[in-house]
Amino acid sequence: MTPPALATSELLARYDRPGPRYTSYPTAVEFHAGVTDATYMERLARADAHREEPLSVYVHLPFCQERCAYCGCNVVITKHRDTTEEYLGYLDREVDLLASHLTARRTVSQLHWGGGTPTYYAAPQLERIFERFARYFHLTPSAEVAIEIDPRVTSKEQLSTLRRLGFNRVSMGVQDFASDVQLAVNRVQSYEETAALVDHSRAEGFTSVNIDLIYGLPYQTVKGFRRTLDQVLTIRPDRLAVYSFAFVPWMKAHMKHIPETSLPGAQVKLELLAMAQQVFGEAGYRQIGMDHFALPEDELARAVEGRVLYRNFMGYTVQSARDMVAVGVSGIGDVQSAFVQNFKKLSDYYAALDQGRFPIDRGYALSDDDVIRRHVITELMCNGYLDIVATETRFGIAFDRYFADELAALTGPDSPAADGLIGVRPAALDVTPVGRMFVRNICMTFDSYLRARTGGPTPVFSRTV
Ligand X SMILES: C[S@@+](CC[C@H](N)C(=O)[O-])C[C@H]1O[C@@H](n2cnc3c(N)ncnc32)[C@H](O)[C@@H]1O
Residues that bind ligand SF4 (CB under 6 A): 64, 67-68, 71, 73, 75, 115-117, 150, 173
- Residues that bind ligand X (rule: CB under 6 A) add up to a total of 17
Cis peptide before 116 (omega within 30 of 0): yes
- Window contacting ligand X (CB under 6 A); options: 97-105, 158-166, 240-248, 268-276: 240-248
Closer CB to ligand X, residue 175 or residue 228? Answer: 175
- C-beta closer to ligand SF4: residue 69 or 409: 69
Residue 173 binds ligand X (CB under 6 A):
yes
Q: Which is nearer to ligand X, 55 or 71 (CB)?
A: 71
Question: Nearest approach, Cβ of 217 to ligand SF4 (angstroms)?
Answer: 11
Residues 382-441 that bind ligand X (CB under 6 A): none
* Minimum CB distance to ligand X smaller for 246 or for 346: 246
Minimum CB distance to ligand SF4, residue 459 (Å): 21
Query: Quick check: 285 binds ligand X (CB under 6 A)?
Result: no
User: Is position 137 an interface residue for ligand X (rule: CB under 6 A)?
Assistant: no
Contacts 24+ apart (CB under 8 A), 198-203: 198/172, 198/235, 198/237, 200/156, 200/159, 201/159, 201/170
Residue (3 or 115) nearer to ligand X, CB: 115
Measured from the CB atom, is 68 or 266 closer to ligand SF4? 68
Q: How many angstroms separate the CA atoms of 171 and 215, rounded? A: 17
Burial (0-12, 13-18, 19+ Cβ within 10 Å), 297 = exposed
Nearer to ligand X, 225 or 402 (CB): 225
115 near ligand X (CB under 6 A): yes
246 binding partner (options ligand SF4, ligand X, none; Cβ < 5 to 8 Å by kind): ligand X
Residue 212 contact partner, candidates ligand SF4, ligand X, none, CB within 5 to 8 A by sort of partner: ligand X
Q: Contact 88/128 with Cβ under 8 angstroms?
A: yes
Residue 99 binds to ligand X (criterion: CB under 6 A): no
Segment lying near ligand X (by CB under 6 A), choices 167-175, 190-198, 416-424, 449-457 = 167-175
CB of 138 to ligand X, least distance (A): 26
Pick the piece of the chain touching ligand X (CB under 6 A) from 8-16, 113-121, 282-290, 402-410: 113-121
CB 320 → ligand X: shortest distance, Å? 20
Measured CA to CA, the distance from residue 445 to residue 396 in angstroms comes to: 21
Angle between helices 81-101 and 123-134 (to 10 degrees): 10
Distance CA 118, CA 341 (A): 19
Tell me if 71 contacts ligand X by CB under 6 A: yes
Question: Of 217 and 422, which CB lies nearer to ligand SF4 in the complex structure?
Answer: 217
Of 127, 204, 212, 430, the one binding ligand X (CB under 6 A) is 212
Determine if 73 is a binding residue for ligand X (CB under 6 A). Answer: yes
d(Cα 318, Cα 382) in Å, to the nearest integer?
A: 11
Binding of residue 15 to ligand X (CB under 6 A): no
40 binds ligand X (CB under 6 A): no
Nearest approach in angstroms of CB 118 to ligand SF4 is 10
Q: Please say which residue, 57 or 366, places its beta carbon nearer to ligand X.
A: 57
Distance CA 74, CA 307 (A): 32
Closest residue to ligand X in the complex (CB): 173
Rg (CA), the chain: 22
For residues 429 and 214, the answer to whether their CB atoms sit within 8 Å is: no
β-bridge partners, 334: 324, 339
User: What element of type H or E holds 424?
Assistant: strand 422-424
Task: Single out the residue of 273, 285, 159 nearest to residue 213, CA to CA.
Answer: 273
Q: Which is nearer to ligand SF4, 115 or 384 (CB)?
A: 115
Helices (H), 166-265: 179-184, 191-204, 222-235
Query: Which of 295, 311, 59 has the alpha carbon at shortest distance from 162?
Result: 59
| 333 binds ligand X, rule: CB under 6 A | no
Among 15, 22, 25, 70, binds ligand X (CB under 6 A): 70
* CA pair distance 399, 391, nearest whole angstrom: 8
Paired with 209 in beta bridges are: 170
Query: Strand 324-327 and strand 315-317: pairing?
Result: unpaired
C-alpha 85/C-alpha 63 separation (Å) is 11
Alpha helices by DSSP H, listed for 215-309, are 222-235, 266-282, 299-305
Tell me phi and psi for residue 175, to 5 degrees.
80, -60
First to last CA, the chain: 17
Question: Whole-number minimum distance, CB 173 to ligand SF4, in Å?
Answer: 5
For residues 74 and 399, is the Cβ–Cβ distance under 8 A? no
Interface residue with ligand X among 175, 208, 287, 432 (CB under 6 A) is: 175
**From the list ligand SF4, ligand X, none, partner contacted by residue 67 (C-beta under 5 to 8 A by kind):** ligand SF4
Which residues are near ligand X by CB under 6 A? 70-73, 114-115, 117, 148, 150, 172-173, 175, 212, 214, 243, 245-246
